[in-house]
Amino acid sequence: MNSAAFTGKDGGLKYLQTLGIDVPPFILVDHALHRQFCELNAIEQLLDDELSPLDAHARIIQHFGEVAAIVPVSVHRLYEQLVEHFGALSSVGITRSSSRFEDAAKCSYAGIFSSVSFDLHTYESFVKSLIAVWLSPFKDHVQAYTSALGTPKKPRDFIGTMGAIIQPYLLADRSGVVFSRSVCGAARATCYANYGAGETLNTLGVHQCELVEHQETFHVVRHAKHRLVLWPHKASRLALGQGIASALGELVVVGRYKSHLSKTRLPLSKAFLPCVGRSLRRQLYTVTHQLIEHLGHRDFEFEWVAQADRLFLVQLRAITALDASAFTVPNDMEAIVAGKLQGPIHCWNERQKVPDNAIVAVRNLEYSMIAFLRNIKGILTLSGSPHSHIAIVCREAGIPVYKISAQQFERLQRQPSRFCDGAWVFD
């Protein structure tokens, strides 16, 4: 079985079902409904090829700020079906993108398109989430992503390509990502896990424990007691990922990122325990090797959630395989995306223009960096993990990413340096 077996989110979920692997219940919205939506709202007329991606996106936002979107009549029937199937399972639903371009072997579109939660008891809330997903292919960073991978597409190329998956929102107590290969491509599965839902993993790149396969199970190799959950706290001066104890005796992680993400309550006593227990570790190992056996390779990763030790897989995607023997990790650096570093190093912030063909050093590995990936040769960062969406995109684009210490970052700010034949040289 090759990677094409599970192209697209819906294809991945259907494939997992054929193997008898638990996935959350879902209803699929066909791509044809997206084309109908685009035709009803004259989207193609708004997408002038002469406009920059940023201007094209701005035009769409302005248009729908002035004119109410027209949705196909069948959307109301779809909503009635959702309430019938999911109303007893949850009060919250989630509309997830399922483009026919997603989760392909070389282009995952990880984090590129939207997934939006909605109130299952309100039709207007559902429609708003569906429209947000349908419009997400026309965002400017979509074109930045395709350019970074050397497969540029115009906004109009995405008309009629966006399906959607509608699911009840699972209130997971743990979540994670399993890579069938290690960061450097070795044939050893690695799992990154956290308490709560998956926003901390995919958005901020924060995980509470790291596990690797060993002797027919996963073993904990790292346990960061302070990295547990996400708490939006825009006014805080604390660093991203720094833990603080609340007055209620809970441990939270500060994240100045997205205002819609909510904090997860966690008893402080759990701070000293890995979030993945023995039973769940064994289940993850079994599912990983079931997929290896059926796919015939280790070029995949999957996202999972768990409720009281019941494991659900929520996404399966192909990943770009790396040759473990091709790279040597520089001393005192941790590989997020393995690769050869070569060229000058430039300390960058958002107010500066990114120099071409440089290795950029940044404090945080953030998704906004996708805009200039095609211009750079590597990234050095104080924070970040292989499971974050931006790390997956860098891996596809062939951009090596390494984590460095605060002391190394401070020295970079004071003294020019470069990488030459894999060695870090200060001028």
Distance CA 135, CA 131 (A): 6
Better-predicted residue by pLDDT, 233 or 393: 393
The pLDDT assigned to 204 comes to 53
**Predicted TM-score of the model (pTM):** 0.84
Q: What is the mean pLDDT of residues 286-297?
A: 94
On the question of pLDDT at 93 being above 50, the answer is: yes
Binned at pLDDT 50, 70 and 90, residue 308 comes out as confident
DSSP state string for 4-30 = GGG-SHHHHHHHHHHTT------EEEP
Percent of the chain with pLDDT over 90: 33
Instruction: Check if the beta carbon of residue 177 is closer than 8 Å to that of residue 191.
Output: yes
Distance CA 216, CA 300 (A): 19
On the question of pLDDT at 32 being above 70, the answer is: yes
Q: Which two tokens stand for residue 273?
A: 């325990």
Q: How far is CA 200 from the centre of its chain?
A: 10
Helices and strands, counts by H and E, the chain: 11, 20
Distance CA 337, CA 393 (A): 10
Instruction: Check if the beta carbon of residue 74 is closer than 8 Å to that of residue 32.
Output: no
- Note the pLDDT tens digit of each residue in 184-243: 777 889 999 887 765 555 555 567 789 999 989 999 998 875 444 444 334 334 343 444
Q: Which two tokens stand for residue 76?
A: 């109301």
The pLDDT assigned to 143 comes to 86
Q: Biggest alpha carbon distance in the chain?
A: 67
Distance CA 77, CA 70 (A): 15
Domains, the chain, ranges and CATH? 25-168 (3.30.1490), 174-318 (3.30.470.20), 327-426 (3.50.30.10)
Burial of 355 (0-12, 13-18, 19+ CB in 10 A): middle
Q: Which of 216, 214, 206 is nearest to 177 (CA)?
A: 206
